[in-house]
Every structure is written in structure tokens, then in C-alpha cells.
Amino acid sequence: MLEERKRMVEDLVARGYIKTEKVKKAMEKVPREKFVPPEHRMSAYLDQPLPIGEGQTISAPHMVAMMCEVLDLQRGMKVLEVGTGCGYHAAVVAEIIGEEGKLYTIERIESLYKKAKEKLKDYRQIKVIHADGTEGWEEAAPYDRIYVTAAAPEVPEPLKRQLKVKGKLLVPVGRDRFYQDLLLVEKLSEDNFKTKNLGGVAFVPLIGKYGWRF
């Protein structure tokens, strides 16, 4: 499916979602078909979310590309991902930050955690954790970048605390189940943050102590 992957990346470049060579190379390298359930592999390179079980989805490729670009990921960075899902987004980020970087990724649902851990086992820079991601991962804090792949009713406070000064946090926020705003939060000092609204998105709910409680 290499040709389909190349076409997908070319399309994302043409549509302006991929802007940098590092994001382009990462998305060219990571095989999305490896991370989707077998019954959806023929749709792996369509630019749309796909179900991965447990009511969760793999984000559309354009959203993965956009989030990577907005975060301005650099080699060697320490990154926290909240919501591993199938592991695809984590693999793309790992390619960008390189083996000298470190990505901690947290998944709440045990079955998805186990599958993602197996699929990501070749990435030495990734640590997959089974926990409540809304609480972050204090033991490895602070982080250069934090991003969330599910929608919170508000920005979880632990994630703001665990961000380095001058770090960036990207999180979908909103109380509507079908529409949220993608917020970019920059930490200017320990208690001073700047927030930019990047526009409307649609993510599954972020469930946990500092997220939704259904």
C-alpha cells in the first residue's frame, strides 16, 4: 500500500495540512494500515477517521498532520500523548522527535493499550502506559509538548502543570459531543498561559478524573 500512502501524503501537502519536510517524511514512513483493524485496511489511506474498537477511532490523516505541524515538534523533545488509541499518531510523532526524543503515551482502555504496545514495540523512544491520561504522567514531567487525542470539557489542569515553561499543549475542548474547539495552550511562565483557538473539530470524549465522567 506504499503507493496509496504516497498519494495520501501528496494530497495533504497540496491541501496545506503538511507544511514541513519532517512531517511529510514521518507520514510517508508510518504504515497506517498496520494500525487499523483488518476489516478497515482497504480504507487506511482515505482521509477520514476509522473505528478501532471500544467506541474509539483513529484520527483522519489530515488531523494527525495538522496537530504535528501546530506542535512544532523537534528532534530530542520529550512529549506526552493523552489517548494512544491504536498507536498511529504516536508512531508519526516518534518519527519526528527521533530516537533521541521520548514519547510517553497514555491509554485508558486496557484492550487498546495492549494492542498499541505491541504495535509500537519497535520504537525505543515510546513508552506506552495504561492509566487515566487526564491526570498526565507526573513521573516524567515536565514535557516540551503535550497533545490530547480526545475532547475534554475543559483543559485538564494536571496537563498545564506538567508542561515546561515555553512548552505547548494541544487539546480539543468543548461540552458538545459532536463539536469542539482545538486549543493551543502556550505556557509563558508557571502560572501564565496564552490560549489560541485553532477552530472546530470533532473528537471522541476524553474520559477520566479531569475529563468527562459517564
Angle between helices 21-29 and 88-97 (to 10 degrees): 130
Nearest-angstrom CA–CA distance, 27 and 57: 18
- Residue 20 CA to residue 130 CA, distance in Å, equals 32
Residue 211 burial (10 A CB sphere; 0-12, 13-18, 19+): buried
Contacts of 209 (CB under 8 A, 6+ apart): 132, 134, 135
Residue 138 CA to residue 154 CA, distance in Å, equals: 19
Going by C-alpha positions, the residue among 173, 124, 167 that lies closest to residue 146 is: 167
Query: What is the spatial distance between Cα 162 and Cα 158, in angstroms, rounded to a whole number?
Result: 6
Backbone angles phi, psi at 4, to 5 degrees: -65, -40
Question: What phi, psi does 123 have (nearest 5°)?
Answer: -95, 105
Tell me the catalytic residues. Answer: 59
- Look up residue 121 and give its three cell numbers: 514495540
Is-contact 203 66, C-beta < 8 A?
A: no
